[in-house]
């Protein structure tokens, strides 16, 4: 009989710890709750039934000060605990509880660069499937805990299947009014990001070209594996080779074509090489042959001793291959997956192992100074 997965909760604040434990226990989970990082590490490393860990970002030595003065940091913080555990138990998944204070209203969303950057740092740790903010719990406890519970339950059903299915989305940005009009047209609930699939079902592939041309902005998004929130990836500029590849594959996905990018699909602007070639065009080819090759006693032709042959353009990598390699490394850093497994070479092209798609979003209008 399969062991019932256990949820380990690591939280230094007694009240929050009790709160998490109560909610998850009431939802039917088997929980082990502790304030101590050492205990959590020991439990995770020795108990094979621990499959999920709800972990606080900052860990103080309990009791966390409530009467003034300040506390002391535990030996390990959230990052460190995750690092120690994933080194031995790559099967454990983490939901990080962050105390990062979200400031004021969503109208300032565009300015929350630091907040977003810090959330990204947390999410990129290996094993982290999502981030939950304490403020979200305070403002909507039922909703936030409900989402956590759903996520944990989903993960339990598919014990062997990957919880994480990385998804890269190309976002086409339109003015708010256009976004609202699309929502109305499709008769769907208003959401910040709208899948383009229903639109294409109505308008066909030509509509995709039209929308592509008309979009005021284009952004690459990474879908968070747990919450499905979209995280903009600003390192992929619209004029970059990485964007070109991802956009091509996303378009193929949405038009239900065979998802593969070949050399001829990739427009490469050749770089001016900084290195001079070592081939001397004026050298006599026959002289080179005589210099490099000789004949053995039994008449066989071979390279003379001490001669090393160099071929022009020794880098036989195609431009697409180079670009794919670079893109794989970038996606690996974003925790999409191991670099070598993100693209498969087949049928003289590259097929992604992650999902792609296109969404439509509302572009923020410029603020008044």
Cβ nearer to another protein, comparing 65 with 338: 65
Distance CA 124, CA 26 (A): 30
Closest approach of another protein to the CB of residue 115, in Å: 5
Cβ nearer to another protein, comparing 37 with 200: 37
Q: Are 355 and 168 in contact (CB under 8 A)?
A: yes
SS3 286: helix
Q: Are 26 and 44 in contact (CB under 8 A)?
A: no
**Could you tell me which residues are beta bridge partners of residue 162?**
none
Reply yes or no: is the peptide bond before residue 323 cis, omega within 30 of 0.
Answer: no
Closest approach of another protein to the CB of residue 121, in Å: 9
Closest approach of another protein to the CB of residue 223, in Å: 24
Cβ nearer to another protein, comparing 58 with 339: 58
Cβ nearer to another protein, comparing 112 with 351: 112
SS3 36: coil
Closest approach of another protein to the CB of residue 281, in Å: 50
Reply yes or no: is the peptide bond before residue 63 cis, omega within 30 of 0.
Answer: yes
Closest approach of another protein to the CB of residue 126, in Å: 15
Cβ nearer to another protein, comparing 116 with 321: 116
Cβ nearer to another protein, comparing 109 with 210: 109
- Distance (Å) of CA 130 to CA 5, 27, 99, 110, 134: 18, 19, 14, 21, 13
Q: Under the rule (CB under 8 A), what is the footprint of another protein?
A: 57-58, 60-61, 65-77, 79-80, 99-101, 103-104, 108, 111-115, 117-118, 367-369
Closest approach of another protein to the CB of residue 112, in Å: 7
Distance CA 214, CA 57 (A): 42
Q: Which residues contact 255 (CB under 8 A, 6 or more apart)?
A: 200, 205, 208
């Amino acid at each position: 009989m399969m062991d019932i997965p256990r949820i380990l909760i690591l939280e230094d604040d007694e009240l929050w710890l009790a709160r998490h434990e109560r909610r998850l226990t009431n939802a039917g989970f088997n929980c082990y709750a502790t304030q101590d990082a050492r205990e959590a590490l020991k439990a995770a490393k020795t108990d094979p039934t621990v499959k999920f860990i709800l972990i606080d970002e900052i860990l103080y030595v309990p009791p966390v000060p409530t009467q003034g003065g300040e506390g002391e940091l535990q030996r390990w913080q959230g990052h460190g605990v995750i690092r120690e555990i994933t080194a031995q138990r790559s099967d454990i998944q983490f939901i990080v509880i962050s105390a990062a204070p979200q400031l004021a209203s969503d109208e300032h969303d565009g300015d929350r660069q630091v907040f977003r950057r810090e959330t990204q740092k947390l999410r990129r740790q290996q094993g982290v499937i999502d981030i939950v903010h304490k403020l979200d719990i305070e403002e909507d406890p039922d909703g936030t805990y409900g989402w956590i519970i759903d996520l944990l339950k989903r993960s339990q059903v598919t014990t062997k299947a990957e919880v994480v299915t990385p998804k890269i989305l190309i976002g086409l940005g339109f003015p708010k009014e256009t976004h609202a009009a699309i929502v109305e047209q499709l008769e769907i609930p208003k959401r910040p990001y709208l899948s383009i699939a229903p639109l294409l079902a109505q308008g066909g592939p030509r509509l995709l070209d039209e929308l592509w041309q008309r979009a005021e902005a284009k952004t690459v998004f990474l879908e968070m594996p747990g919450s499905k929130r979209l995280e903009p990836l600003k390192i992929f500029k619209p004029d970059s080779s990485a964007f070109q590849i991802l956009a091509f594959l996303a378009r193929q996905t949405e038009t239900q074509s065979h998802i593969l990018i070949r050399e001829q699909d990739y427009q490469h602007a050749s770089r001016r090489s900084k290195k001079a070639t070592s081939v001397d065009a004026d050298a006599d080819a026959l002289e080179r042959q005589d210099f490099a090759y000789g004949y053995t006693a039994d008449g066989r032709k071979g390279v003379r001793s001490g001669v090393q042959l160099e071929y022009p353009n020794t880098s036989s990598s195609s431009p697409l291959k180079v670009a794919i390699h670079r893109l794989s490394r970038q996606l690996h850093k974003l925790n999409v997956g191991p670099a070598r497994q993100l693209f498969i070479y087949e049928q003289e092209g590259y097929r992604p192992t992650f999902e792609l798609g296109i969404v439509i979003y509302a572009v923020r209008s410029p603020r008044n100074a």
